[in-house]
Amino acid sequence: MKRAPALAPEERRRVLKEATLPLLMEHGLQVSTRQIARAAGVAEGTIFRVFPTKQDLLNEVILDAVAPDAAIGLIAAIPPGLPFETHVERLLEILVDRMTVNNRFIGMLHSPAMQKGGARCAGHALRDGRYLVDAAVAESLTPYADRLRVPPRRAAAALMANVFSTITLTAVDAMPPPPDEMASLLLHGIAAKELS
């Protein structure tokens, strides 16, 4: 078998992390370094020339996965000029997806196996990321300020709290309600018709 050309250290790091993410989603913390090496197309020992331990690799992959960049990019990409309700549905779709993924990874970060391996706590990164996502949601609601009962920043906080509570209270094996239903409840409340 012909050896692949050697990669620069940062490229090797990127390749290992990219190969690890789907395996982590599929196998959780039980993913093996052998599986990671095979998926990355490198020798198993290469992992430990880049990361001191498997936990260090998994920790970095998880922290990257819960970073706010993806959500912020998707929020910024919502086409301008959509009807207000449609815009809110798109926001909810993005946030539900990201929070669902984040919850899964956060559980992994706080597992005894990761803590025993010296994984660093992601609390500060997650808190800072949440503020950035809150700000992106508020900014995306600003063009609809005339449709809001509260300033965009408070509307964003209410939307985020709604998504967080929905994801937290949804059973592990159940799906959260669809974005259009969540948007309707958020925008119009639980009453069947306008209250007098």
Residues 85, 141 within the same domain: yes
The CATH number that applies at residue 173 is 1.10.357.10
Question: Does residue 59 belong to any structural domain of this protein?
Answer: no
The CATH number that applies at residue 45 is 1.10.10.60
Please compute the mean of the pLDDT values over residues 107-114 and round it to a whole number: 74
pLDDT 10s digits, 87-107: 999 999 999 888 888 878 877
Question: Does residue 1 belong to any structural domain of this protein?
Answer: no
pLDDT 10s digits, 48-86: 999 999 988 998 898 888 889 989 999 999 999 999 999
For residue 115, is pLDDT > 80?
A: no
Residue 104: other Cβ atoms inside 10 A: 16
Provide the number of structural domains found in the chain: 2
pLDDT computed for residue 167 by the predictor = 79
At residue 1 the predicted structure's pLDDT band, cuts being 50, 70 and 90, is very low
Full residue range of the structural domain in which residue 25 is found: 9-51
